[in-house]
Structure 1
């Protein structure tokens, strides 16, 4: 009998990369990941993406995580919401004013992928509970780590149990199949302020000390399907 790793507790999609996402009750998943996930990004004239850090690929644009994006009513183009949750009429114009930059735009993915690593990120409640215990007094929920799927694990499950999944495949719900590949290497984005979550450097420090800055399970999609709240996540082999 296939081992049940847990059940889907929450589903997250991030229509505009590096902004807050939307919680869903169900989502279609194809080879790219959740349909519409990170399909848009804030991009500058050099082709770098808005983020909380500066690298060859990213341009630091403070405050993006205080904003939210969503696909309203099944729309194909996402909506950007300000810090009060109010939709803005022109996301590019709004961000140019907010950030004081005229060289940025909200752009759809082209030849360069918006994903930092792999299509799907899964995080367990066991690991999330460990983070909360490691930084007492600091508000923590899964938004710090931007997973697509939060998996409710059975009582007594050890933190970082995701490591045991690597190299294995899983069935999620009726038809979705994924393969667990590796974990994400975390960066300063975990410390950034979001609505209800203040800035704190303690989070990344705790993960670095305990688990070499790695946290979650990254997966590829081997059979497209749908994921729904409450779906079981079943290990089906290696």
Structure 2
């Protein structure tokens, strides 16, 4: 097994970035989902409505990039703003059709469920077999699941289902502790970046895999993770 791809989302629920390496701390990938879009009620922008989140159509039209000292937001027309720029907040609000601000994480973590999310190429192959893949004739696009790490595993199936309770060692430094499968929502069917809108993936997972795909992991030993790092379970 090896790390095939690393994804970081500097602003929650916006499009993120593929990076060659990342620092991993107790909170997860450094800089991941550290900022979020907030409405006047304090709810976080998302693709779904919950006690904490408010569905804000249009978030996937916005791209976020990590930068120092704050992330950069790119609008559909190519304009870019620092995440703490009030002018940028108004511009983002115009795209979303509502009043919003962008704010850094405070006492409550922005993560939906936990620090690090992982999916495998084996599971993507299995979902492709069940659903027919993408319209372009390729396998189901991993970006739909907004996972931090894509782990290359041979075969087809859901090997990660057996990971909770074990340690996943990645490269020479990082050790993760897979905790539980990740329950999915309608966001995996939404159009984002190169992946078009669908209406069947969530239904397929509901019928064949209990609505779960991938696993959540906590960080047992921080360090640096890089694409190509070998992985092992203990």
Q: TM-score, normalised by structure 1?
A: 0.90
- CA displacement at 1:100 relative to structure 2: 2.3
Secondary structure, counterpart of 1:27 in structure 2 = strand
CA contact (8 A) 2:48 2:55 kept: yes
3-state DSSP class of the match of 1:216? Answer: strand
Q: Is the 8 A contact 1:79 1:91 kept in 2?
A: no
Q: Work out whether 1:130 is the aligned partner of 2:123.
A: no
Higher mean C-alpha displacement, 30-39 vs 175-184 = 175-184
CA distance in 1, matches of 2:77, 2:2: 32
Residue 84 (structure 1) shift: 5.5
**Aligned equivalents of 1:137 and 1:234: distance in 2?**
28
Q: Any unmatched runs of 5+ in structure 1?
A: 1-5
The residue that corresponds to 1:96 in the other structure is 93
Question: Which residue does 2:65 correspond to in 1?
Answer: 70
Query: Could you say which residue in structure 1 is the equivalent of 2:7?
Result: 12
CA distance in 2, matches of 1:209, 1:149: 25
- In the TM superposition, what whole-angstrom CA distance separates every residue of 1:29-85 from its partner, at most 9, and x where no partner exists? 00000000000000112111111112221111101112211114xx13111112365
Q: How many residues align?
A: 226
Q: How far does the alpha carbon of each residue in 1:154-193 deviate from its partner, in whole angstroms, 9 at most, with x for none?
A: 2x3x411101111101211011111010011100111111
- Aligned to 1:225, which of 190, 210, 223? 223
Unaligned segments of structure 2, at least 5 residues: none
Q: Could you tell me which residue of structure 2 aligns to residue 205 of structure 1?
A: 203
Q: How far apart, in 2, do the equivalents of 1:93 and 1:178 lie?
A: 39
Alignment of 1:19-30 (within 5 A): 19-30=14-25
After superposition, where does 1:118-197 map in structure 2 within 5 Å?
118-136=114-132, 138-139=134-135, 140-154=140-154, 156=155, 158-197=156-195
Note the alpha carbon deviations across 1:134-153, whole angstroms, 9 max, x for none: 22263431110011000111
Per the TM alignment, residue 86 of structure 1 is displaced from its structure 2 partner at its CA by 4.8
